[in-house]
Structure 1
Amino acid sequence: MRDFDEPSRAAGPGVVADGPAGAATVLVIDPAGEALHDGIPATWRPLSETVRIVWLRVPAAPGWKSTVDTVLTRHRDDTRTVLDVVTSGPIAADVLDLVAGHPDLVRSVLVVDPEVPVEATFAQVIPHTNDVVAPLPLGHPDVVSGVVAALDRRPTT
């Protein structure tokens, strides 16, 4: 298991974003704290041409649960908002619990290497065949490919 508590991961911004405002949004809740340099990982940039990507770096955002809940609550009644959530490993259960309270807002939760069984109907595990130690970093190309494939299968709202 990777150590996500490295002090260097807590440095930098808590949230970075890229992509067109008003577009469907992918909220990445990253326990590893990638995106250290005020921008989303390079592997995600092509996706940001058509989708808004908001990357929440958990090590740099100690109150991440309340931040996510606040964002979801703020957009609860906005029928224009289309939101998909991506997360991994050790925080998957917490993210699934947070999202469960907002079923009309969150279209899907895509989980990489969850440490808990994923049984929610709105959630899907992103498969990969890489030999990288779990959980696979969310900036990894296999994750991006899995997210793109999952989003392509989702109905538009």
Structure 2
Amino acid sequence: MVVHSGLNPEKWFGSTQPPIFQTASHRFLTAEQLSDVFIGKEKGYIYQRLRNPTTEALESRVAELEGGVGAVATSSGMAAVHNSIAAIVQSGDEIVSGNSLFMSTYLLLSNMMGKFGVKVKFVESTVLEEYEKAITSRTKVIFIESIGNPKM
């Protein structure tokens, strides 16, 4: 499944595996075509960091392996953590998090979430009752790192 899922040799100039597209931007035949792709009216690639064929092949394979409908590849674990949380919470919501965290995760939750109106409550990571006490009707995320600092 890993080798054969997400194959698109027509898009890859006949290659049996996705090539690595090493380009920052993509060309359009007309300004109208660029506009249509940019607003989502037409499918295409604008800028490598937004979407590209290599990343799409990876996402397709991960989704198929996991039995999902889609996947999102990010450039780092922190990008994945931030994107996941940002997709769920909004101003006025709460997060309950264990206190044993990777430092960057801790800084994201303790320093950044408040700027967006999201309250974060830290509890002792290994005490289930503390999570139960901290959860309210506004809690949208319970965040746990199974092996966080300093226990790594």
TM value normalised by structure 1: 0.27
Higher relative CO (Cα under 8 Å, sequence separation at least 6) belongs to 1
Name the structure with the higher strand share. Answer: 1
Name the structure with the higher helix share. Answer: 2
